[in-house]
Amino acid sequence: TDRHSGRTALVTGAGSGIGRGIARRLAAEGAQVACVDLKHDLADETVSLITAEGGRALALSADVRDRAEISAALEATVETFGGLDYLVNNAGLVTMSSLEELTDEEWDLVLDVNLKGVYIVTQLALPYLKDSPGAAVVNLSTVEAEVVVSSQGFCQVHYNASKGGVKMLTKALAVELSRYDIRVNCVAPGPVATNFIPGADLDAPEVMEFLGQRLLVKRLAQPEDIAAAASFLLSGDASFITGVQLPVDGGWLTR
């Protein structure tokens, strides 16, 4: 469809995985997409894909923790595309440490990117979003904002804490920004086939067995599965939906 035609979106973490999938989907549905990533070369690759698919996109490098960089990215977006209608706060990361191994540096990194970054980018984008009728924000939480997934007895407590924060921040932003008719929702993926955990082999038989016990849909999600939900929540089809967390998890949270 062309349900986003004439709209402009900014997607953080658009150089890889889910963010790239969302950027491509929104562009395929007519949006002009600012692809923001810490790594400029990755953002460039996403833009090349979108361009090859006939879409319009702009590659920008910025760290969601850095107000000056994000302000510059927003200005470049508005200068190029004339405004901002959608914000997708997707940039995120995890480090693999048990509580006993965890350092303050890791805690701060994960909380700053995953949670504080959503606050910073949304606050800085607000003056532009306020000017757009039908503006909407989508954040990325995870099933791990609801349940603790532990493997070999370890979870990532800092990740759970950050994404639980994203879920509640989404609701609080939905309330505050309702005065400007801006909707705010989040998507909670289950396991998605990306490079989120470097070196993890999600296709390994023991991993698939662990996942298979939880998943009702017996496959890993692809970025496209998450992108479809994000696109819906941004679209006019979701104009009566705000403040929700939509699991896209193959049934993970059912049991």
Q: Footprint of ligand NAD on this chain (CB under 6 A)?
A: 12-13, 15-19, 37-39, 42, 63-65, 90-93, 113, 140, 142, 189, 191-192, 194-196
Nearer to ligand NAD, 111 or 181 (CB): 111
Nearer to ligand NAD, 196 or 210 (CB): 196
Q: How far is the CB of 55 from ligand NAD (least distance, A)?
A: 19
**Distance of alpha carbon 187 from alpha carbon 207, whole angstroms:** 23
Nearer to ligand NAD, 126 or 149 (CB): 149
Measured CA angle at 128 (ends 126, 134), to 5 deg: 90
- Contact between 125 and 83 (Cβ < 8 Å): no
Q: Which of 100, 110, 16, 101 is nearest to 59 (CA)?
A: 16
Is 159 among the catalytic positions?
yes
Q: How far is the CB of 76 from ligand NAD (least distance, A)?
A: 15
Q: How far is the CB of 16 from ligand NAD (least distance, A)?
A: 3
Q: How far is the CB of 98 from ligand NAD (least distance, A)?
A: 19
Nearer to ligand NAD, 134 or 168 (CB): 168
**Distance of alpha carbon 25 from alpha carbon 28, whole angstroms:** 5
Q: How far is the CB of 6 from ligand NAD (least distance, A)?
A: 26
Nearer to ligand NAD, 55 or 191 (CB): 191
Select which of 86, 119, 128, 159 is catalytic: 159
Give catalytic residue positions: 159
